[in-house]
Chain A
Amino acid sequence: MNHRHIYPVCLLLIMAGCEQSMSLRVDSEIPTPVIARMPVTMGVLYRDDLRNYVYEENSDERPNWKIESGSSHIALFEQILGSMFEETIEVAGTTADTTADTTVDAVLAPSIAEMQFALPAETKSDFYEAWIKYDMELFNREGNPIANWSVTGYGKSSTEFMKSRDKGLNAAVNQALRDAGARFALGFHKVEAVGAWLEQVDSSGE
């Protein structure tokens, strides 16, 4: 190899190492939950803003950050809801009015309120961190609201030798998704209005 070529290659490698922009597609892995199914046919409304969710930031500290996680949110809810309810049916629509569907007991519409990330250099810690906050809306089959509440998830991933920033952030987001899924699954019946509705469904089914 000609020596003239070594220096540009080295320079490119150094520049790649210092590159702060990011384009990441989150790759998640959510296990099948072991929970007792509720005797409910649940409609699920995945709006486009959840399905195509992209975190974008363009600041001095985070130039051209783009983190695509839409498909991971859908995969999370498909996995969790499929284990929580007797049956889940995806419904079409965009607003409360259009969620009316007589083939289901209720319609659940998750949306993302906020996603946040932190890098080890920013927090002076040894962790990549991710937070997700979902807004959950539950409508009855006529499209009237039953309950709305928030579900949060937090995940962190330690910095390890040769672990890239993308891998570290992906692992933190995956943890946050798992955490949010766990909190949602175990906390669903504890939401006061949801608990009351479930009792109603139980008594009408007897």
Chain B
Amino acid sequence: MKILAVITLSVGLALLSGCKSTTVIDEYRETSVASIIGGEAIVVLGRRHSSSYETEDDFISCVGKSLKQGQSEINVIPEKDFVDSMYPYFETSTAPMDVRNLGKLAQIPVIADKFNDFNLRYFVWIDGATERTDSSGSVSCAVGPGGGGCFGFAYWKDEANYEASIWDFKQLALSGKINAETKGTSFMPAIIIPIPMLARVQENACKSLANQIKTFFSQQPG
């Protein structure tokens, strides 16, 4: 039993160093100035018009929460609150696909009033998803009258690719785009009990994207 524990620990430690994820961030600025003046708010929204994938609700909520945290705290309107209060203009099939259409929408008095109520300055549209690109191995578990246990080894690779388009509502212009690409491999060795070692690809993509959005608003290009 002691040997098994040592083997499990060794395999675990060896794999722990491998189950990391890497993130690549690309930023493109359209305007030189992108800043939030006290009291102004932003809304982070997911694009869900693709038939093959859907920007996850929990990813959008993770980015929103991350933007609210830290020193450069940003006033973020929760996606559901915003979309519900703007119904029917921000549904998947009716939401503006470009800044020009947002401008047209803002000419409708009831919509303009709502935007003013929110003190809305920036729209952050996020498009993308986390996908499993590869998986292999297997873990088998069995239960008998004398007890149970699992044995085996499995791994899987996840890839997250998200693009955030930042629209300045005051200028009615595209401020910039940020792309976050995260890749990672998770492992699950099982010797009696399965030990999942997760790469947390989506979570890392969320944190990286949120940090870059914060930098986008706080730093001016040199």
How close is B201's CB to chain A, nearest CB, in angstroms?
Answer: 15
How close is A19's CB to chain B, nearest CB, in angstroms?
Answer: 23
Provide the residues of chain B in CB contact with A125, threshold 8 Å.
52
Q: Are A34 and B114 in contact (CB under 8 A)?
A: yes
Complex Cα distance A127/B52, Å?
Answer: 9
**B111 interface hit (Cβ, 8 Å):** yes
**B110 closest partner in A (C-beta):** A34
Q: Are A34 and B89 in contact (CB under 8 A)?
A: yes
Provide the residues of chain A in CB contact with B111, threshold 8 Å.
34
A-B pair count, CB < 8 Å, reads 48
Interface string of B70-103 (1 = CB under 8 A from A): 0000000000000011111101111000000000
Q: Which of B93, B110, B145 contacts A154 (CB 8 A)?
A: B93
Provide the residues of chain B in CB contact with A179, threshold 8 Å.
91-93
How close is A32's CB to chain B, nearest CB, in angstroms?
Answer: 7
**A75 interface hit (Cβ, 8 Å):** no
Interface string of A162-177 (1 = CB under 8 A from B): 0000000000000100
Q: Which of B84, B91, B110 has the most CB of A within 10 A?
A: B91
How close is B218's CB to chain A, nearest CB, in angstroms?
Answer: 33
**A36 interface hit (Cβ, 8 Å):** yes
Complex Cα distance A100/B220, Å?
Answer: 66
Provide the residues of chain A in CB contact with B109, threshold 8 Å.
36
Complex Cα distance A186/B101, Å?
Answer: 15
List CB contacts (< 8 Å) of A136-174 with chain B.
154, 156, 158
List CB contacts (< 8 Å) of A31-52 with chain B.
31-36
**B55 closest partner in A (C-beta):** A158
Q: Which of A127, A154, A156, A186 contacts B88 (CB 8 A)?
A: A186
Q: Are A127 and B89 in contact (CB under 8 A)?
A: no
**A30 closest partner in B (C-beta):** B87
Complex Cα distance A125/B110, Å?
Answer: 39
How close is A91's CB to chain B, nearest CB, in angstroms?
Answer: 25
Provide the residues of chain A in CB contact with B145, threshold 8 Å.
3
Q: Are B86 and A34 in contact (CB under 8 A)?
A: yes
Q: Which of A32, A125, A178 has the most CB of B within 10 A?
A: A178
Provide the residues of chain A in CB contact with B84, threshold 8 Å.
31
A-B contact pairs, 9 of them (CB 8 A): A34-B86, A35-B110, A36-B109, A154-B93, A158-B54, A179-B91, A182-B89, A185-B88, A186-B88
